[in-house]
Structure 1
Protein backbone atom coordinates (compact mmCIF):
# COMPACT_ATOMS: atom_id res chain seq x y z
CA UNK A 1 0.00 0.00 0.00
CA UNK A 2 1.24 3.43 -0.71
CA UNK A 3 0.81 6.26 1.71
CA UNK A 4 -1.00 8.08 -1.09
CA UNK A 5 -3.73 5.46 -1.35
CA UNK A 6 -3.92 4.99 2.39
CA UNK A 7 -4.65 8.69 2.83
CA UNK A 8 -7.22 8.66 0.03
CA UNK A 9 -8.94 5.67 1.63
CA UNK A 10 -9.07 7.36 5.03
CA UNK A 11 -10.37 10.59 3.49
CA UNK A 12 -13.09 8.61 1.69
CA UNK A 13 -14.51 8.05 5.20
CA UNK A 14 -14.83 11.80 5.68
CA UNK A 15 -12.82 15.02 6.05
CA UNK A 16 -9.79 14.92 8.34
CA UNK A 17 -6.71 16.94 9.21
CA UNK A 18 -3.15 15.70 8.82
CA UNK A 19 -3.03 15.15 12.56
CA UNK A 20 -6.26 13.12 12.48
CA UNK A 21 -4.93 11.04 9.59
CA UNK A 22 -1.67 10.30 11.46
CA UNK A 23 -3.68 9.24 14.51
CA UNK A 24 -5.86 6.94 12.37
CA UNK A 25 -2.83 5.34 10.76
CA UNK A 26 -1.30 4.72 14.20
CA UNK A 27 -4.57 3.47 15.67
CA UNK A 28 -5.37 0.95 12.97
CA UNK A 29 -2.15 0.13 11.17
CA UNK A 30 0.49 1.18 13.72
CA UNK A 31 3.26 -1.34 13.36
CA UNK A 32 2.02 -2.84 10.11
CA UNK A 33 2.13 0.35 8.05
CA UNK A 34 3.59 3.32 9.95
CA UNK A 35 3.03 6.83 8.64
CA UNK A 36 5.05 9.70 10.02
CA UNK A 37 3.65 13.22 10.27
CA UNK A 38 6.14 14.88 7.86
CA UNK A 39 5.47 12.27 5.18
CA UNK A 40 1.71 12.60 5.65
CA UNK A 41 1.80 16.38 5.25
CA UNK A 42 4.06 16.16 2.20
CA UNK A 43 1.72 13.62 0.59
CA UNK A 44 -1.34 15.76 1.41
CA UNK A 45 0.29 18.63 -0.50
CA UNK A 46 0.91 16.34 -3.49
CA UNK A 47 -2.64 14.98 -3.38
CA UNK A 48 -3.98 18.55 -3.31
CA UNK A 49 -1.73 19.57 -6.20
CA UNK A 50 -2.98 16.54 -8.17
CA UNK A 51 -6.62 17.46 -7.53
CA UNK A 52 -7.34 14.23 -5.63
CA UNK A 53 -8.18 16.03 -2.38
CA UNK A 54 -9.05 19.60 -1.44
CA UNK A 55 -9.14 21.69 1.69
CA UNK A 56 -12.50 21.25 3.39
CA UNK A 57 -11.99 23.73 6.21
CA UNK A 58 -9.19 25.78 7.71
CA UNK A 59 -9.28 26.31 11.45
CA UNK A 60 -7.23 28.04 14.09
CA UNK A 61 -3.46 28.02 13.64
CA UNK A 62 -3.98 27.19 9.95
CA UNK A 63 -5.09 23.64 10.74
CA UNK A 64 -6.55 22.26 7.54
CA UNK A 65 -9.07 19.49 7.16
CA UNK A 66 -9.05 17.79 3.77
CA UNK A 67 -11.74 15.97 1.83
CA UNK A 68 -11.47 13.60 -1.09
CA UNK A 69 -12.59 14.77 -4.54
CA UNK A 70 -14.40 12.70 -7.14
CA UNK A 71 -11.06 12.24 -8.92
CA UNK A 72 -9.55 11.00 -5.63
CA UNK A 73 -12.40 8.54 -5.16
CA UNK A 74 -11.84 7.27 -8.71
CA UNK A 75 -8.10 6.93 -7.97
CA UNK A 76 -8.59 4.86 -4.80
CA UNK A 77 -11.19 2.64 -6.46
CA UNK A 78 -8.89 2.08 -9.44
CA UNK A 79 -6.00 1.22 -7.10
CA UNK A 80 -8.20 -1.30 -5.26
CA UNK A 81 -9.28 -3.12 -8.41
CA UNK A 82 -6.35 -2.97 -10.85
CA UNK A 83 -2.61 -3.24 -10.98
CA UNK A 84 -0.12 -5.42 -9.23
CA UNK A 85 -0.05 -5.82 -5.48
CA UNK A 86 3.25 -5.63 -3.65
CA UNK A 87 3.22 -8.69 -1.38
CA UNK A 88 6.62 -7.89 0.08
CA UNK A 89 6.79 -8.16 3.85
CA UNK A 90 9.77 -6.62 5.55
CA UNK A 91 10.00 -8.16 9.01
CA UNK A 92 13.37 -7.39 10.55
CA UNK A 93 12.94 -10.20 13.07
CA UNK A 94 12.90 -12.69 10.22
CA UNK A 95 15.98 -11.18 8.59
CA UNK A 96 17.80 -11.41 11.92
CA UNK A 97 16.75 -15.04 12.32
CA UNK A 98 18.84 -15.94 9.30
CA UNK A 99 21.91 -15.04 11.37
CA UNK A 100 20.95 -16.52 14.74
CA UNK A 101 23.86 -18.89 14.36
CA UNK A 102 26.19 -15.96 15.06
CA UNK A 103 24.66 -15.24 18.47
CA UNK A 104 25.60 -16.45 21.91
CA UNK A 105 22.90 -18.96 22.95
CA UNK A 106 21.95 -16.97 26.08
CA UNK A 107 21.64 -13.76 24.07
CA UNK A 108 19.59 -15.61 21.47
CA UNK A 109 17.19 -16.98 24.09
CA UNK A 110 16.74 -13.48 25.56
CA UNK A 111 16.13 -12.05 22.08
CA UNK A 112 13.57 -14.72 21.26
CA UNK A 113 11.83 -14.20 24.61
CA UNK A 114 11.60 -10.46 23.81
CA UNK A 115 10.31 -11.18 20.31
CA UNK A 116 7.68 -13.65 21.55
CA UNK A 117 6.52 -11.18 24.21
CA UNK A 118 6.36 -8.24 21.77
CA UNK A 119 4.42 -10.19 19.13
CA UNK A 120 2.02 -11.69 21.70
CA UNK A 121 1.34 -8.24 23.21
CA UNK A 122 0.76 -6.81 19.73
CA UNK A 123 -1.68 -9.60 18.90
CA UNK A 124 -3.48 -8.94 22.19
CA UNK A 125 -3.83 -5.22 21.40
CA UNK A 126 -5.34 -6.01 18.02
CA UNK A 127 -7.57 -8.66 19.61
CA UNK A 128 -8.91 -6.09 22.11
CA UNK A 129 -9.62 -3.70 19.27
CA UNK A 130 -11.37 -6.51 17.36
CA UNK A 131 -13.49 -7.29 20.42
CA UNK A 132 -14.62 -3.65 20.56
CA UNK A 133 -15.58 -3.80 16.89
CA UNK A 134 -17.42 -7.09 17.42
CA UNK A 135 -19.40 -5.57 20.31
CA UNK A 136 -20.57 -2.87 17.90
CA UNK A 137 -18.96 -0.01 19.80
CA UNK A 138 -18.10 1.65 16.49
CA UNK A 139 -21.37 0.97 14.70
CA UNK A 140 -21.97 -1.39 11.84
CA UNK A 141 -21.23 -0.05 8.40
CA UNK A 142 -18.99 -0.98 5.45
CA UNK A 143 -16.04 1.01 6.83
CA UNK A 144 -16.23 -0.71 10.21
CA UNK A 145 -16.53 -4.16 8.62
CA UNK A 146 -13.51 -3.44 6.39
CA UNK A 147 -11.56 -2.22 9.40
CA UNK A 148 -12.49 -5.41 11.25
CA UNK A 149 -11.00 -7.48 8.41
CA UNK A 150 -7.77 -5.48 8.69
CA UNK A 151 -7.67 -5.84 12.46
CA UNK A 152 -8.12 -9.59 12.16
CA UNK A 153 -5.10 -9.71 9.84
CA UNK A 154 -3.10 -7.91 12.53
CA UNK A 155 -4.25 -10.39 15.18
CA UNK A 156 -3.34 -13.38 13.03
CA UNK A 157 0.00 -12.03 11.78
CA UNK A 158 1.24 -11.07 15.22
CA UNK A 159 0.01 -14.29 16.79
CA UNK A 160 1.78 -16.29 14.07
CA UNK A 161 5.00 -14.35 14.74
CA UNK A 162 4.64 -14.94 18.50
CA UNK A 163 4.20 -18.66 17.84
CA UNK A 164 7.20 -18.59 15.51
CA UNK A 165 9.42 -16.98 18.18
CA UNK A 166 8.36 -19.62 20.72
CA UNK A 167 9.06 -22.37 18.20
CA UNK A 168 12.44 -20.85 17.25
CA UNK A 169 13.58 -21.23 20.86
CA UNK A 170 13.23 -25.00 20.48
CA UNK A 171 15.32 -25.28 17.30
CA UNK A 172 17.88 -22.49 17.65
CA UNK A 173 21.55 -23.42 17.80
CA UNK A 174 22.31 -24.66 21.33
CA UNK A 175 26.07 -24.35 21.03
CA UNK A 176 28.45 -21.45 21.20
CA UNK A 177 28.60 -19.43 17.97
CA UNK A 178 31.46 -20.16 15.63
CA UNK A 179 34.47 -17.91 15.78
CA UNK A 180 34.20 -15.90 12.58
CA UNK A 181 37.35 -14.29 11.36
CA UNK A 182 37.12 -11.05 9.44
CA UNK A 183 40.24 -12.02 7.50
CA UNK A 184 39.47 -13.81 4.26
Structure 2
Protein backbone atom coordinates (compact mmCIF):
# COMPACT_ATOMS: atom_id res chain seq x y z
CA UNK A 1 0.00 0.00 0.00
CA UNK A 2 1.14 3.51 -0.55
CA UNK A 3 0.17 6.86 0.78
CA UNK A 4 -0.93 7.70 -2.76
CA UNK A 5 -3.52 4.94 -2.81
CA UNK A 6 -4.66 5.63 0.73
CA UNK A 7 -5.44 9.23 -0.24
CA UNK A 8 -7.19 8.14 -3.43
CA UNK A 9 -9.28 5.71 -1.37
CA UNK A 10 -10.31 8.37 1.13
CA UNK A 11 -11.19 10.80 -1.65
CA UNK A 12 -13.28 8.10 -3.37
CA UNK A 13 -15.69 8.46 -0.46
CA UNK A 14 -15.92 12.28 -0.39
CA UNK A 15 -14.12 15.50 -1.23
CA UNK A 16 -11.87 16.67 1.55
CA UNK A 17 -9.28 19.25 2.48
CA UNK A 18 -5.75 18.29 3.44
CA UNK A 19 -6.70 18.93 7.06
CA UNK A 20 -9.76 16.68 6.74
CA UNK A 21 -7.59 13.95 5.26
CA UNK A 22 -5.04 14.30 8.07
CA UNK A 23 -7.84 13.84 10.62
CA UNK A 24 -9.17 10.82 8.71
CA UNK A 25 -5.69 9.31 8.80
CA UNK A 26 -5.48 9.92 12.54
CA UNK A 27 -8.85 8.29 13.22
CA UNK A 28 -8.98 5.51 10.67
CA UNK A 29 -5.65 4.67 9.05
CA UNK A 30 -3.02 5.51 11.66
CA UNK A 31 -2.70 1.87 12.73
CA UNK A 32 -2.50 0.64 9.15
CA UNK A 33 -0.59 3.33 7.30
CA UNK A 34 0.54 6.29 9.42
CA UNK A 35 1.33 9.56 7.68
CA UNK A 36 2.47 12.99 8.76
CA UNK A 37 0.96 16.30 7.72
CA UNK A 38 3.91 17.10 5.46
CA UNK A 39 3.71 13.68 3.76
CA UNK A 40 -0.01 14.09 3.10
CA UNK A 41 0.27 17.61 1.65
CA UNK A 42 3.27 16.65 -0.47
CA UNK A 43 1.43 13.64 -1.89
CA UNK A 44 -1.72 15.70 -2.54
CA UNK A 45 0.35 18.08 -4.67
CA UNK A 46 1.81 15.15 -6.63
CA UNK A 47 -1.65 13.63 -7.14
CA UNK A 48 -3.00 16.96 -8.39
CA UNK A 49 -0.01 17.41 -10.71
CA UNK A 50 -0.62 13.98 -12.27
CA UNK A 51 -4.37 14.57 -12.68
CA UNK A 52 -5.47 11.85 -10.27
CA UNK A 53 -7.18 14.43 -8.06
CA UNK A 54 -8.37 17.95 -8.67
CA UNK A 55 -8.89 21.01 -6.52
CA UNK A 56 -12.68 21.14 -6.34
CA UNK A 57 -12.84 24.37 -4.36
CA UNK A 58 -10.56 26.85 -2.70
CA UNK A 59 -11.72 28.52 0.47
CA UNK A 60 -10.47 31.18 2.83
CA UNK A 61 -6.76 31.23 3.65
CA UNK A 62 -6.05 28.97 0.67
CA UNK A 63 -7.86 25.94 2.09
CA UNK A 64 -8.27 23.53 -0.81
CA UNK A 65 -10.95 20.88 -1.20
CA UNK A 66 -9.66 17.92 -3.18
CA UNK A 67 -11.78 15.58 -5.29
CA UNK A 68 -10.97 12.32 -7.03
CA UNK A 69 -10.90 12.43 -10.83
CA UNK A 70 -11.99 9.62 -13.14
CA UNK A 71 -8.31 8.84 -13.72
CA UNK A 72 -7.77 8.74 -9.96
CA UNK A 73 -10.65 6.30 -9.51
CA UNK A 74 -9.29 4.16 -12.35
CA UNK A 75 -5.85 4.11 -10.69
CA UNK A 76 -7.36 3.14 -7.34
CA UNK A 77 -9.35 0.33 -8.96
CA UNK A 78 -6.28 -0.85 -10.89
CA UNK A 79 -4.23 -0.93 -7.69
CA UNK A 80 -6.96 -2.85 -5.84
CA UNK A 81 -7.58 -5.46 -8.52
CA UNK A 82 -4.41 -5.81 -10.58
CA UNK A 83 -1.49 -5.52 -8.19
CA UNK A 84 -0.37 -7.97 -5.53
CA UNK A 85 0.01 -6.55 -2.03
CA UNK A 86 3.62 -6.35 -0.92
CA UNK A 87 4.39 -8.95 1.69
CA UNK A 88 6.25 -7.39 4.59
CA UNK A 89 8.34 -10.22 5.98
CA UNK A 90 10.59 -8.27 8.32
CA UNK A 91 9.75 -8.34 12.00
CA UNK A 92 12.12 -6.80 14.49
CA UNK A 93 10.05 -8.38 17.27
CA UNK A 94 10.62 -11.90 15.93
CA UNK A 95 14.25 -11.19 15.09
CA UNK A 96 14.83 -10.26 18.73
CA UNK A 97 12.94 -13.35 19.92
CA UNK A 98 15.13 -15.52 17.73
CA UNK A 99 18.24 -14.25 19.56
CA UNK A 100 16.88 -14.14 23.13
CA UNK A 101 19.22 -17.01 23.99
CA UNK A 102 22.06 -14.52 24.45
CA UNK A 103 20.37 -12.89 27.48
CA UNK A 104 19.31 -14.40 30.78
CA UNK A 105 16.01 -16.28 31.01
CA UNK A 106 14.72 -13.53 33.29
CA UNK A 107 15.52 -10.89 30.68
CA UNK A 108 13.95 -13.00 27.93
CA UNK A 109 10.83 -13.60 30.02
CA UNK A 110 10.61 -9.89 30.82
CA UNK A 111 10.94 -8.97 27.14
CA UNK A 112 8.16 -11.39 26.19
CA UNK A 113 5.91 -10.20 29.03
CA UNK A 114 6.50 -6.60 27.91
CA UNK A 115 5.47 -7.61 24.40
CA UNK A 116 2.24 -9.10 25.75
CA UNK A 117 1.52 -5.83 27.54
CA UNK A 118 2.30 -3.79 24.42
CA UNK A 119 0.05 -5.93 22.24
CA UNK A 120 -2.75 -5.70 24.82
CA UNK A 121 -2.37 -1.91 24.81
CA UNK A 122 -2.57 -1.84 21.01
CA UNK A 123 -5.67 -4.03 21.15
CA UNK A 124 -7.26 -1.69 23.72
CA UNK A 125 -6.41 1.35 21.59
CA UNK A 126 -8.23 -0.24 18.66
CA UNK A 127 -11.24 -1.02 20.89
CA UNK A 128 -11.34 2.64 21.91
CA UNK A 129 -11.17 3.64 18.26
CA UNK A 130 -13.98 1.22 17.45
CA UNK A 131 -16.14 2.85 20.13
CA UNK A 132 -15.21 6.41 19.14
CA UNK A 133 -15.95 6.15 15.42
CA UNK A 134 -19.46 7.06 14.28
CA UNK A 135 -20.11 4.05 12.05
CA UNK A 136 -22.73 4.38 9.34
CA UNK A 137 -23.95 2.37 6.36
CA UNK A 138 -21.32 3.68 3.91
CA UNK A 139 -18.82 1.43 2.19
CA UNK A 140 -16.02 3.27 4.01
CA UNK A 141 -17.57 2.32 7.35
CA UNK A 142 -18.21 -1.28 6.30
CA UNK A 143 -14.69 -1.91 5.06
CA UNK A 144 -13.20 0.22 7.82
CA UNK A 145 -14.88 -2.05 10.40
CA UNK A 146 -13.59 -5.12 8.56
CA UNK A 147 -10.02 -3.72 8.60
CA UNK A 148 -10.40 -2.77 12.26
CA UNK A 149 -11.53 -6.30 13.11
CA UNK A 150 -8.37 -7.61 11.45
CA UNK A 151 -6.30 -5.35 13.70
CA UNK A 152 -8.20 -6.47 16.79
CA UNK A 153 -7.77 -10.16 15.99
CA UNK A 154 -4.13 -9.72 14.98
CA UNK A 155 -3.25 -7.94 18.22
CA UNK A 156 -5.20 -10.49 20.27
CA UNK A 157 -3.24 -13.28 18.58
CA UNK A 158 0.09 -11.49 19.20
CA UNK A 159 -0.81 -10.89 22.86
CA UNK A 160 -1.79 -14.54 23.36
CA UNK A 161 1.40 -15.70 21.62
CA UNK A 162 3.61 -13.41 23.76
CA UNK A 163 1.91 -14.65 26.94
CA UNK A 164 2.44 -18.24 25.82
CA UNK A 165 6.09 -17.55 24.88
CA UNK A 166 6.80 -15.86 28.23
CA UNK A 167 5.34 -18.92 29.94
CA UNK A 168 7.63 -21.22 27.92
CA UNK A 169 10.73 -19.40 29.17
CA UNK A 170 9.87 -19.75 32.88
TM bracket (short chain): 0.7 to 0.9
Residue by residue over 1:103-141, the C-alpha shift from the partner in whole angstroms, topping out at 9 and shown as x without a partner, is 3333333322222112112112323444566xxx42212
TM-score computed with the length of structure 2 as normaliser: 0.87
Question: How far apart in 1 are the matches of 2:132 and 2:38?
Answer: 31
Distance 1:7 1:89, change over 3 A: farther
Tell me: CA distance 1:169–1:20, structure 2 relative to 1, closer, same or farther (3 Å).
Answer: same
| Contact 2:27/2:129, CA 8 A, preserved across alignment | no
- Specify the SS of the correspondent of 1:95: helix
The separation in 2 between residues aligned to 1:130 and 1:109, in whole angstroms, is 32
Query: Given that residues 127 and 152 in structure 1 are in contact (C-alpha distance below 8 angstroms), is that contact kept between their aligned partners in structure 2?
Result: no
One of 150, 153, 156 as aligned partner of 1:156:
153
Return closer, same or farther for 1:126/1:89 CA change in 2, 3 Å cut-off.
farther
Q: Measure the CA separation in 2 of the matches of 1:62 and 1:104.
A: 59
Question: What are the equivalent positions in structure 2 for 1:39-118 lying under 5 Å apart?
Answer: 39-118=39-118
8 Å contact 1:126–1:151 — kept in the other structure? yes
The answer on 1:14 being equivalent to 2:14 is: yes
**2:110 and 2:166 in contact (8 A); partners too:** no
CA drift at 1:41? 1.5
**Number of equivalences:** 170
CA contact (8 A) 1:56 1:66 kept: yes
Unaligned runs of 5+ in 1: 175-184
Unaligned runs of 5+ in 2: none
User: 2:142 is matched with which residue?
Assistant: 145
SS at match of 1:11: helix
Bigger Rg, structure 1 or 2: 1
Which structure has the highest helix share of the two?
2
* Equivalent-residue separation in structure 1 for 2:122 and 2:55 (angstroms): 35
Instruction: Give CA-to-partner distance per residue, 1:19-40, whole Å, 9 cap, x none.
Output: 2222222222323321122221
Shift of residue 97, structure 1, vs aligned partner: 1.6
